[in-house]
Amino acid sequence: MTEAFHHPDPDQGLANARRLASELDKASPDAAGSIREGPPEMFTIRRLGMTGTLAMTLRSTNPVELMISIARSTTGKVKRWRDGEMRRRWCAAGILEAEKSFRWFRAYRQMPALVKQLRAHATKISKDDLGTVTLHAHTGIAA
């Protein structure tokens, strides 16, 4: 996986990850499934040319997983769900609770570069007349 993630060409890295998943199918189907879970999204940061602290931060799913975990434990306190609106309120309460444990985003100074890269990529895709499906398929970014 390290070789796939660090390959200079994101398309080749993606192909390497998919090949690894195929090799793992028999020996470890769970590991293979985990690798297949989101390959295009895994290479989005490299495709956009992001490096350093920003790339390391964006590659990690830990912040999202932590938020979901805290929201889940907060909503777990509910004994009787009445309707969808109640679910939304409790989910929002859980996210607000999770917000208390959020830390400073270390790569905040690199955010303008990320925005610039995203805009350039979106412009390139629209010039190719490939539409939002291609934007999502190649970058993992929903337009």
Please name the residues in contact with 91: beta carbons below 8 A apart, sequence gap of 6 or more.
71, 75
pLDDT tens column, 5-44: 888 888 898 899 999 999 999 899 998 888 888 777 778 8
Cα torsion for 24, 34, 125, 107, to the nearest 10°? -120
pLDDT tens column, 89-127: 999 999 998 888 887 777 888 889 889 988 988 888 777
Q: How much is the pLDDT for 128?
A: 66
Q: How much is the pLDDT for 4?
A: 84
Q: How much is the pLDDT for 41?
A: 75
First to last CA, the chain: 28
| pLDDT above 50 (res 143) | no
Average pLDDT over residues 43-68: 82
18 vs 77, residue with greater confidence? 18
Q: How far is CA 44 from the centre of its chain?
A: 9
- What does R_g of the chain's alpha carbons equal in angstroms? 19
Q: How much is the pLDDT for 142?
A: 47
